[in-house]
Structure 1
């Protein structure tokens, strides 16, 4: 069976603890890996690296997931820093922006989760809301409804309003060029974006890896499988 190779970006932590160990680590919540595997992909972790290497890395993948994480540095989208914006993850920002740009150049299917969606918007020249009051007040991965925009790729995958697991305090402000909003929260917050072209590019503000609805992941893996390159070790 062909299993498309899916790269997933990771956290870079200066101090992490497990068992008797405490040291720097590249980390990824297992839920991301399981989401890819259950949908039929082979997961590969992508720790931060030198941005010029991004194109070579993407060339060996069938799909890319940009995982959630810390706030995107506002300098990346030309904004002054709000006091409520978190500390910048400089290496991770540079690496993930390069990965996204390479995936767009090579036509590689791309799924952005939370921070990942925000970075997709930034790569396209969009901006972010640096703080949304109350959006994390209900706790980590609290559920709220999102409604799809008719006629979008996301709507073709999830045609009804659904409750999603979310944890964020930033969001898309101005949409980048070539993108469209494909789902909204009740308060109008953009909850999903996608590319306007033929390439499979979707970003979701929530965390699909934490829920039981696998339709977005299945659509992504299906697109990756359709572009699976036989020379790769899994194909």
Structure 2
């Protein structure tokens, strides 16, 4: 973590206003763990997860996308960009509420996180922060830094299968989802490494 924390500390020492840092990488790489650790490392830092902008299960059912939940077109990209823009422009002007994602419900939770008006560091994380196409292309210019977190594919798969089982899937269904949904997303996300300021293996961060 020190590898990135030093870079963020340097940014904070030089920035005239709020610093917004993004962490991206494939499913199961450790993005959420890394983001929460970074928030804990800096007094007054706040967390803005992209997962809060999942479309609801009802909407995914309506669109016929529930079986691909987590794919790039199963998120409210415009809503996420709007939240980032508010975070950038409303420093010291007012609190900004953003949604969380409740894994026990498998649903987004409105106003699950707050970015206080005086918060100087916002850490956001998610799969598609570096995607240069469509509405996602607006994300990268709103970030002061974008870090790509990776780890060996077998480790990621093991984590993902365990996560899906914990979420209620059978072992066979969990393995199928990891192979047929998560890895498809991971291949897309891997193409965004070139747009990140630094690529780190999860083991390098701790």
Return the TM-score normalized by structure 1.
0.28
Q: Going by fraction, where is strand more abundant, 1 or 2? A: 1
Return the TM-score normalized by structure 2.
0.30
Q: Going by fraction, where is helix more abundant, 1 or 2? A: 2
Q: Which has the higher contact order (CA 8 A, sep 6+)?
A: 2
